Amino acid sequence: MDTQAGKTFADLANWLERKRWLITRRWLRLVRSDPAIENTGRLTNAQLIDYLPQVFDEVCVALRAAVPQASYGQVERDARQHGKHRWQHGYQLDALFRELDLLQKCTQQATREFFAHSAHRNDTQPRAHQLIEDLFSAMIYGAIRQLLEEQNQRVNDSLRARDFAFAAQQDSEERLRIAAAAAGLGIFEWDVETGEAVWENARMYEITGQRPEDGPMSSEEFFGCVHPEDLEALVSNVRAEDAPGRQVNALFRLFRRNDGALRFLEMCGSFRYTPEGGANSFIGTLADVTDRKSVEDALREVDRRKDAFLATLAHELRNPLAPIRNAAWVLKRSEAELPPHARWVPGVVDRQIRHLSSLIDDLLEVSRITTGKITLKRRVFDLREAVTGALEINAPHAEERHHRVAVSMPDTPVYVDADVTRITQIVSNLVDNALKYTPDGGDIRVAVRAEGHGPGGRALIEVSDTGIGISAAELPHVFELFVQGEDRPGRAVGGLGIGLSVVRTLAEMHGGEAIAWSAGINRGSNFTIRLPIAQASTVAAVTEPAAPEAHAQRPLRVIIVDDNRDAAESLAMVLDMHEVHTAADAGEAIQMMNARAPVDVVLLDIGLPGMDGYALARRLRELPGTEATAFVALTGSGRPEDIERSRSEGFAEHLVNRWTRCA
């Protein structure tokens, strides 16, 4: 090629480089508006022009060299990469051809504009157009070849995947058969339209009692063996109208065909659907869970007996505790009259009874929690009220061990919607825990504060101490049931490992959380309770309770009915500011009521021999002059169902023989 033509091609290359983005914009408009290129709507402009810079560079290199054949190899390699990229975006062959053809047209248009604005020999322009056409032909050929190779590869991959999937399916079916046999599962398939059995394995015959020579059971035959009480629920559960993918899970009873034995069975299955959306078969597994069900029933019965035992134990323990408690109170009231060397006795008895009563309460509390028998009695109240009540409960223990208890509470109310008794219990348990694990004379801090406002606001209760701390290994488990810290110097007294578990459960029942933290051994502990703050609209409706009306003070006429003479007489001594009489049984109580009516209060033991307290209360109400008499249940049973029973029988109060909470 002569020097003049070479200079012209070099000038053209410079022109195309300067006009690159003009050419690109023109090409983008054409590609976006071409209905034959369907994939452009899924790509950004940047994705469309990914390989244009390489294409322009190769065109310009070929023009400057004026020997286009020398650049075909590189152009084809770039175009093959372009073709692979487009294939990955889902392009078809015709769309790829259209895209490259439009790019050639835009480049040729720019070439014509170059020659229109400059004076060159007439034979140079056709040669330039031919060179560009040859380059794009090589490019299109390379891209198309790459696309075809990729499509062929995809077909081959699909064939290999199909063969692999078929082999995997066979392996899976074999594993399923082995697993089903090992697990004792029956497998069956029913035709949805006819209800006929398509297939079932050998274990299915064993479970249902169907003879193998009779063939698999149809759905109608199967449902005919189901216990009538379970049939409707099972049939409604196995429905083909439900959406694909729904799993059927059912537990029911079935009479086995061969011997009529009643068995508990568990069915799991799902429907198989046609491409058109209709169910054509039901495939399921069947397991005989009779033995498991028997074990579960036995465990439930053991659990029921455990609860009954705990309630009975508490009742039997509380009954002797009541007269001891009353006697200790009488001794304490007369402490000044005791000899100096015996004045410590009432305090010892008082402390040990409180400790024993606390252990009994913990046992009953964990039984109620694990069986879900706790019902929260919510109301909106100031959290400071519960904290103050808890500190009063624990004050004697703190004074006894010379602990310094610092309290920090805001000046304004912190309202929560909660059960005040249970929140008091939470704080009391945390303070009691701090007292146990802090050496004598240690510091305990109780703080209340609000964190945020509105729906996301939280009320915080923090109890921290300077005690023996919690190790990193113990910290994740401190709220678990029956978990206790290691015995270390400074620990005052052991427990049952129940208190903190109760704390976490009650906090979560209120929509809150309990968090424990410690820096390590002998570095103290910190417990935080977070509770939702009551909404402003609810708080606004809270009003202070009206002050009780003042009544004239006078001694009351009281009858105590209890077959435990020690309990009755010791309680009478506690109530000696009133006119108190005791009766040991129903007959004596009826006779006393007739002789001394009207009576203000009857303290009535529920567990009386012969006629129990409920029946005796009904009999006493039939006597004249008892219209204004208040009947109070006096018992060692404090379960929610016991309290509800006494209220339904018309008792004004239900007093439990223990030191703390009375319902």
Distance CA 367, CA 637 (A): 13
- Look at residue 393 in the predicted model and tell me its pLDDT: 83
For residue 96, being part of any structural domain is answered with: yes
pLDDT above 80 for 486: no
Calculate the alpha carbon distances from 351 to 347, 362, 396, 410, 655 in Å: 6, 17, 9, 33, 21
| Residues present in the chain in total | 663
- Together in a domain, 525 and 609: no
- Together in a domain, 26 and 99: yes
- Helix or strand or coil: residue 197? strand
- Together in a domain, 189 and 51: no
Write out pLDDT tens, residues 191-214. Answer: 888 889 888 888 889 899 999 888
| pLDDT interval class at 318 (50, 70, 90) | low
- Assign residue 266 the CATH number of its domain: 3.30.450.20
- Assign residue 455 the CATH number of its domain: 3.30.565.10
Which of 192-206, 335-349, 390-404, 420-434 bottoms out in mean pLDDT, i.e. has the lowest? 335-349
Q: Which helix (H) or strand (E) holds 505?
A: helix 499-509
Entry pTM: 0.47
Q: What percent of the chain has pLDDT over 90?
A: 19
- Together in a domain, 361 and 382: no
For residue 162, being part of any structural domain is answered with: no
Write out pLDDT tens, residues 211-245. Answer: 988 889 999 999 999 999 999 989 888 875 666 66
- Assign residue 595 the CATH number of its domain: 3.40.50.2300
Q: Which domain holds residue 594?
A: 557-656
Q: What percent of the chain has pLDDT over 70?
A: 77
- Overall number of domains in the chain: 5
Give mean pLDDT, residues 245-268: 90
Per the listing, tokens 């216990």 go with: 227
Write out pLDDT tens, residues 121-170. Answer: 667 888 888 888 887 777 777 766 766 777 677 777 777 777 776 666 55
Last residue of a domain, one of 229, 262, 288: 288
pLDDT above 50 for 371: yes
Could you tell me which of 103, 119, 109 has the C-alpha nearest to residue 11? 119
For residue 407, being part of any structural domain is answered with: yes
pLDDT above 90 for 300: no
For residue 173, being part of any structural domain is answered with: no
Write out pLDDT tens, residues 603-636. Answer: 988 888 888 889 999 988 888 888 888 999 988 7
For residue 161, being part of any structural domain is answered with: no
Calculate the alpha carbon distances from 21 to 16, 44, 47, 98 in Å: 9, 16, 15, 20
Write out pLDDT tens, residues 55-69. Answer: 777 778 878 876 544
For residue 163, being part of any structural domain is answered with: no
Q: Is the peptide bond before 413 cis (omega within 30 degrees of 0)?
A: no
For residue 473, being part of any structural domain is answered with: yes
Give mean pLDDT, residues 4-8: 79
pLDDT above 70 for 74: no
Q: 456 exposed, middle or buried (CB, 10 Å; 0-12, 13-18, 19+)? A: exposed
- Together in a domain, 229 and 337: no
- Look at residue 459 in the predicted model and tell me its pLDDT: 93
- Together in a domain, 529 and 507: yes
- Together in a domain, 502 and 620: no
- Assign residue 365 the CATH number of its domain: 1.10.287
- Together in a domain, 501 and 395: yes
| pLDDT interval class at 4 (50, 70, 90) | confident
- Together in a domain, 403 and 448: yes
CB-based burial, 39-53: b 16+ in 10 Å, e otherwise: ebeebeeeebbebbe
Last residue of a domain, one of 369, 404, 423: 369
Write out pLDDT tens, residues 522-581. Answer: 999 999 999 999 875 555 545 454 444 545 467 888 999 988 888 888 888 888 888 899
Distance CA 351, CA 362 (A): 17
Could you tell me which of 204, 240, 325 has the C-alpha nearest to residue 570? 325
- Together in a domain, 360 and 405: no
Query: Chain-centre distance of CA 58, in angstroms?
Result: 63
Last residue of a domain, one of 329, 349, 369: 369
| pLDDT interval class at 448 (50, 70, 90) | very high
- Helix or strand or coil: residue 452? coil
Average pLDDT, the chain: 79
For residue 663, being part of any structural domain is answered with: no
| pLDDT interval class at 27 (50, 70, 90) | confident
- Together in a domain, 384 and 358: no
- Together in a domain, 20 and 132: yes
